[in-house]
């Protein structure tokens, strides 16, 4: 049986880059939401969490409209993201925003205020306090965010299909490949791909539970 590994490679590349970009965005936005006293905070919170409840097809549709040749992105910057890996990456980052921001935001919000206050009275700036005091104490939540984002990206179907299409070697991710094989009645391949994803999902969830278990025992964080 001829196994095409490119869907796995594309999926993992997409997931890795999404996590990498979202790590920094998630930290910045999580910090903003946790400590901002802006009156517009509820609006930002709602916007950032929209991908949680919106059907992937709706998001995919709007991304496709945004990336289409008529839009300003294309006209002014001569950039076309539709049916490209870059477009897939942008959509994936936006779609996964809440999965990274929420754990960081909740963890920062739950830390005692006195920790950062103590750091300030010890002469440390806000940046130094974030790096040396806050971040080490929200490590388990950041790890949860990373794992959830990675797993969610690997398994995403709706948005990927609408933005990336189904171009082999370019935008065909593992979940699209399963759909493709099933449509072509190649059940053996579909089984194999699905089986690998099943094991992968189990492993990811197991890691997440182990992190949480250690967290509750106080071994980390």
Partner 1 sequence: MIVFNAEKKIISQSGGCLLSLQFEVKNRELVCLSGDSGTGKTMLLKILSGLVKPENAFIQVNDHVWQDTRNRIFLPPQKRNIGFVFQDYALFPHMSVEENLKFGMRGDKKTLEAVLEIMDLNKLRNLKPVYLSGGQKQRTALARAVLRKPEILLLDEPLSALDMKMRLRLQEKILEIHREFSLTTLMVSHSLKEIMKMGDRVLILKNGKIVRTGKPEKIWKRKKKPIPFPPSESNPRLIPLSSHFY
Residue 183 to residue 51: CA distance in whole angstroms: 28
Binding-site size, partner 1 (CB under 8 A):
18
Contact with partner 1 (CB under 8 A): which of 16, 24, 120, 202? 120
Q: Residue 68's closest CA among 55, 56, 78, 81?
A: 81
Q: Using the minimum distance from each CB to partner 1, give the nearer residue, 51 or 103.
A: 103
**Alpha-carbon gap, residue 75 to 208, rounded angstroms:** 44
Q: Which of residues 132-151 bind partner 1 (CB under 8 A)?
A: 132-133, 136-137
Distance CA 25, CA 30 (A): 8
Q: Quote the least distance from Cβ 120 to partner 1, whole Å.
A: 4
Q: b vs e for 58-95, b when ≥16 Cβ sit within 10 Å of the residue's Cβ?
A: ebbeebbebbeeebeebeeeeeebbbbbebbbbbbbbb
Which among 11-19, 70-78, 113-121, 205-213 is the span making contact with partner 1, rule CB under 8 A? Answer: 113-121
Stretch that binds partner 1, among 71-79, 102-110, 115-123, 143-151 (CB under 8 A): 115-123
213 makes contact with partner 1 (CB under 8 A): no
Tell me the closest approach of the beta carbon of residue 117 to partner 1, in angstroms.
Answer: 5
Distances, alpha carbon 56 to alpha carbons 91, 151, 158, 194, in Å: 10, 16, 5, 20
Which span (44-52, 108-116, 147-155, 163-171) binds partner 1, by CB under 8 A? 108-116
Closest to partner 1 by CB, 84 or 119: 119
Residue 43 binds partner 1 (CB under 8 A): no
* Distance separating alpha carbons of residues 219 and 49, to the nearest angstrom: 31
Binding region for partner 1 (CB under 8 A) out of 32-40, 101-109, 111-119, 203-211: 111-119
Residue 119 contacts partner 1 per CB under 8 A: yes
Single out the segment in contact with partner 1 by CB under 8 A; choices: 129-137, 148-156, 160-168, 194-202.
129-137
Which lies closer to partner 1 via its Cβ, residue 111 or residue 196?
A: 111
CA 216, 218, 153 angle in degrees (round to 5)?
A: 55
Return d(Cα 9, Cα 60) in angstroms, integer. 22
Minimum CB separation of residue 35 from partner 1 in Å reads: 13
Q: Answer yes or no whether residue 221 interacts with partner 1 by CB under 8 A.
A: yes
């Amino acid at each position: 049986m001829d196994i095409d590994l490119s869907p796995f490679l594309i999926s993992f590349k997409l997931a890795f880059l999404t996590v990498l970009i979202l790590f920094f965005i998630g930290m910045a936005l999580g910090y903003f939401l946790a400590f901002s006293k802006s009156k517009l905070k509820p609006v930002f919170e709602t916007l950032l969490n929209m991908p949680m409840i919106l059907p992937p097809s709706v998001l995919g549709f709007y991304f496709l409209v945004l990336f289409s040749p008529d839009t300003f992105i294309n006209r002014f910057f001569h950039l076309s993201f539709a049916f490209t890996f870059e477009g897939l990456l942008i959509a994936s980052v936006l779609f996964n925003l809440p999965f990274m921001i929420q754990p960081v935001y909740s963890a920062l919000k739950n830390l005692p205020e006195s920790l950062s206050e103590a750091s300030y009275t010890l002469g440390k700036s806000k940046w130094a306090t974030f790096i040396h005091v806050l971040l080490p104490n929200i490590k388990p939540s950041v790890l949860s965010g990373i794992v959830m984002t990675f797993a969610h990206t690997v398994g995403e179907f709706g948005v990927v299909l609408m933005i990336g299409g189904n171009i082999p070697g370019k935008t065909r991710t593992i979940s699209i490949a399963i759909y493709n094989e099933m449509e072509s009645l190649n059940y053996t391949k579909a089984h194999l791909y699905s089986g690998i994803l099943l094991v992968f999902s189990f492993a990811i969830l197991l890691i997440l539970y182990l992190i949480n278990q250690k967290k509750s025992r106080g071994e980390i964080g």
